[in-house]
Structure 1
Amino acid sequence: MILCVIPGISLALPCRPHACSVRSLSESNEVGFKIPGADWKTRRETRRCEVFDLHKELVPYREAFSWQESTVRRRQALVEKGEDFSDSLIILQHPPVYTLGTKSSEKNLKFDIKDAPYDIYRTKRGGEVTYHGPGQLVMYPIMNLGYHKMCSHLYMRALEEVVIQALSITFSIEVSRREGLTGVWFGDQKLAAIGIRVASKWVTFQGLALNVTTDLTPFEYIVPCGIPDHQVGSIQRILENSKSSGETIDAGQLIEDACKSLLREFSEVFQLDLS
């Protein structure tokens, strides 16, 4: 077991580039992403996004965090010079690991931290403890929120929208948000967790994790996202429960389909040209 503290990027912003009132998504289609039942009007030209597609790889958490951190520094320098013309997206899987957010409580760990089943990292994202592991697709967008005219609240709602649209269109799974909570839910099962960090120059990193074929057993040893009395689900389990007895699901194909769908909807929601 390794308990590591991941250094954060300080959040020292004298003012917000765009005011953000807490409104319903149906009132917020001007920020540039699809809202079910609302007219979606393009407000700007499509922006480029460089994609690092490692969805077939198990990338250690520390390595992925360092990669994000270096990309954030590069992007901040470009913003400073007025030359930040693209966003970045990393998509991958992690080996088994628990991560704790900035204000996470160790009370949400159901084991002795000195004898943890997997490595533990305390990082600088928001949110509580969660688990990452094989079969879970993790997306780390590194976005310029100033360009997208989003505050952190609307940005998280947009990330939720990516997952909602992907699951609905590709898998016919109708999921939803829960008032007062962050993430995407199928009934009382949480399928996607979201935790972000906004650095200086309004460059954001960290992102979302979607359980596709994930072994859900490691979630039993924590209080996922600090929300007791709720379950964690996966796309595979939902589809298996809906199929006739004896039907099998190709886990590898499920990962491929989920990845393609997430990338497509990410492009649509944020109006980005993925390259």
Structure 2
Amino acid sequence: MMIMLGECCYFSVTKPQSLTINGHRRTKRVQCLSRSCELLDFHQELIPYEVAWSLQKDIVKEKKSQIENEGDCNDTLIVLQHPSVFTLGTASSNNNLNFDIKNPPFDIHRTERGGEVTYHGPGQLVMYPIINLRKHKMDLHWYLRTLEEVVIRVLSSTFSIQASRMEGLTGVWVGNEKVAAIGIRVAQWITYHGLALNVTTDLSPFKWIVPCGIHGRQVGSIKGLLKEAQSSCNNHDTAYLHHLDDDSLIHITHKSLIEEFSKVFQLEYHHKTISVPMLCEK
């Protein structure tokens, strides 16, 4: 497979450090180096679920080998969209399917990620971080909350949408509507699977399932939330967002996701390009 390296985006952080000079305590900011992260960006493509799933497992295998030989590995972030598909996590029950599993309306895959059943489809941005938690924080609850934080920041900074967590549940909510689902797998502290954010997604396929096994809650999207707020919006800085087409909303959301993810996880991206036809063929 031909792989080409592209341009890089750099993000760094600073931390305060206290010093004592001539008896006076001073604080200076010391630059901290970010970890390197390969970015596989397919956000404008519809990548079949089984292709992305296989790619993740191949990368995880490579990183495990690299850690055994070198003690560490670079992190990787995959961003894409999927054609319509249902995926089942390790906790999934067929009772949460509103169809005959032998005759599903879309392809269905039972996976090793945590969580219940969910839907992926066009207009939904999916992020698959494959990172070495040994070099971040070896705490799965911290990792889940940090993924939620990325989405919460995106909604607030880019769309002036105030999102939150729901106590006892995983994901990101705006009122009673869940806009982002999270399901992960961690093997030897290497993460894979990840989060899915509804941007311009057709939400009707969610009627075929009980999303994430949660009864009595709704599923929302950024497009839908902007439409609901259009008549009452007093924020002139974001008023233009209400008139953007689907492609533009995807583009803006994707850019914000990449930026916020890099800041939260303190990562420096190196764009890596893989031919989509060759990826699917492989």
Amino acid at match of 1:98: F
What CA deviation, in whole Å up to 9, does each residue of 1:7-60 have, x standing for no partner?
A: xxxxxxxxxxxxxxxxxxxxxxxxx9xxxxxxxx99952101100000000000
Paired with 1:128 and 1:184, the residues of 2 have a C-alpha distance of 16
Report SS of the residue matched to 1:113.
Answer: coil
Tell me the CA shift for residue 95 of structure 1. Answer: 0.2
Cα distance change on mapping 1:43 and 1:224 into 2, 3 Å:
farther
* Contact 2:118-2:212 within 8 A present in 1 as well: yes
Q: How does 1:248-259 map to 2 (within 5 A)?
A: 248-259=243-254
Tell me the CA shift for residue 97 of structure 1. Answer: 0.2
Paired with 1:213 and 1:189, the residues of 2 have a C-alpha distance of 14
Answer with 55-64 or 107-116: which moved more: 107-116
Report SS of the residue matched to 1:111.
Answer: coil
User: Hey, which of these two has a bigger chunk of strand by percent?
Assistant: 2
Runs of 4+ in 1 over 4 A off after TM superposition: 41-44
Q: How does 1:55-94 map to 2 (within 5 A)?
A: 55-94=43-82
Amino acid at match of 2:83: P
Report SS of the residue matched to 2:131.
Answer: strand
What CA deviation, in whole Å up to 9, does each residue of 1:59-94 have, x standing for no partner?
A: 000000000000000101111123524200000000
Report SS of the residue matched to 1:84.
Answer: coil
Is 1:196 the counterpart of 2:184 in the alignment? yes
2:204 corresponding residue in structure 1: 217
Tell me the CA shift for residue 161 of structure 1. Answer: 0.5
Cα distance change on mapping 1:260 and 1:156 into 2, 3 Å:
same
Paired with 1:63 and 1:115, the residues of 2 have a C-alpha distance of 22
When normalised by structure 1's length, the TM-score is 0.82
Tell me the CA shift for residue 209 of structure 1. Answer: 0.2
1:154 corresponding residue in structure 2: 142
Q: How does 1:101-112 map to 2 (within 5 A)?
A: 101-112=89-100
1:208 corresponding residue in structure 2: 195
Equivalent pairs, count: 234
Tell me the CA shift for residue 150 of structure 1. Answer: 3.0
* Contact 2:131-2:190 within 8 A present in 1 as well: yes
Report SS of the residue matched to 2:163.
Answer: coil
- The runs of 5 or more residues in structure 2 that have no matched partner are 1-14, 16-28, 233-241, 271-282
Paired with 2:176 and 2:93, the residues of 1 have a C-alpha distance of 23
2:123 corresponding residue in structure 1: 135
Percent of counterpart pairs with the same letter? 59
* Contact 1:212-1:254 within 8 A present in 2 as well: yes
Paired with 2:140 and 2:30, the residues of 1 have a C-alpha distance of 21
Paired with 1:43 and 1:123, the residues of 2 have a C-alpha distance of 40
Larger radius of gyration: 2
Report SS of the residue matched to 2:70.
Answer: coil
2:260 corresponding residue in structure 1: 265
What CA deviation, in whole Å up to 9, does each residue of 1:150-205 have, x standing for no partner?
A: 311110100000000011001111000011100000001000000000112x1110
- The runs of 5 or more residues in structure 1 that have no matched partner are 1-31, 33-40
Paired with 2:71 and 2:43, the residues of 1 have a C-alpha distance of 29
Paired with 1:199 and 1:219, the residues of 2 have a C-alpha distance of 29
* Contact 1:236-1:249 within 8 A present in 2 as well: no
When normalised by structure 2's length, the TM-score is 0.80
Match of 1:186 among 168, 174, 184: 174
* Contact 2:86-2:109 within 8 A present in 1 as well: yes
